[in-house]
Amino acid sequence: MNRIQIIAFTLLSTLALNANAGRYEVSEVEIEDLGGGSFVATGSLASARFSDNDVEQIGCRLLGIAGALNQVQCGATDSADNSVSCTSTDPFIIEAVQAISAYAWLRIESNEGSCDRLFVSTRSFHIPDAKTQKGSKKSKKSKKHDDDDD
């Protein structure tokens, strides 16, 4: 390779590493309290995880007891520390929970404490980009800890 080819290759490689392609959406946790244990909660797991606060979260868990019970528990906490939760033993809700990934977007609908609807989206724009992860709580805490040691 001659000198011009090496320079061109280096420049193109650098540009390729710095390119951010694709759509990304921040989807903070939002809760609409409908009263009486009824609510609608939306948000992405990744946006909640990389948020600038220490309270935001959304998700579901599945409890299985052999021969006895399968139960889903879903919940959310928004940035103002408002929390909601619901449960369900419905097989369709249980099936939907199994589609949740680390980067999923959720819409949880509850009627009087029962999880009646669960929408799970695993589209690519729910995956956080590098800029979001650089501002994560983990890196901020590590930096603060390093400053405290001085």
Q: Would you give per-residue pLDDT tens digits along the chain (150 residues)?
A: 566 544 444 444 443 444 445 666 678 999 999 998 899 999 999 889 888 999 999 999 999 888 878 999 999 999 999 999 999 999 999 999 999 998 899 999 999 999 999 999 987 665 655 444 444 443 333 333 333 443
Q: Is residue 15 part of a domain?
A: no
Q: What angle do CA 136, 78, 27 make, to 5 degrees?
A: 60
Largest CA-CA distance found in the chain, in angstroms, rounded: 74
pTM above 0.75, yes or no: no
**What SS3 state is found at 128?**
coil
CA distances from 39 to 8, 26, 116, 118 (A): 56, 21, 10, 12
Q: Is residue 149 part of a domain?
A: no
Please count the residues of the chain. 150
Residues 104, 63: contact at Cβ < 8 Å?
no
* CATH code for the domain of 60: 2.40.50
Q: Is residue 141 part of a domain?
A: no
Q: Is residue 11 part of a domain?
A: no
Give the total number of structural domains in the chain. Answer: 1
Residues 77, 29: contact at Cβ < 8 Å?
yes
Residue 83: domain span: 30-136
CA distance 126 to 110: 23
Q: Is residue 25 part of a domain?
A: no
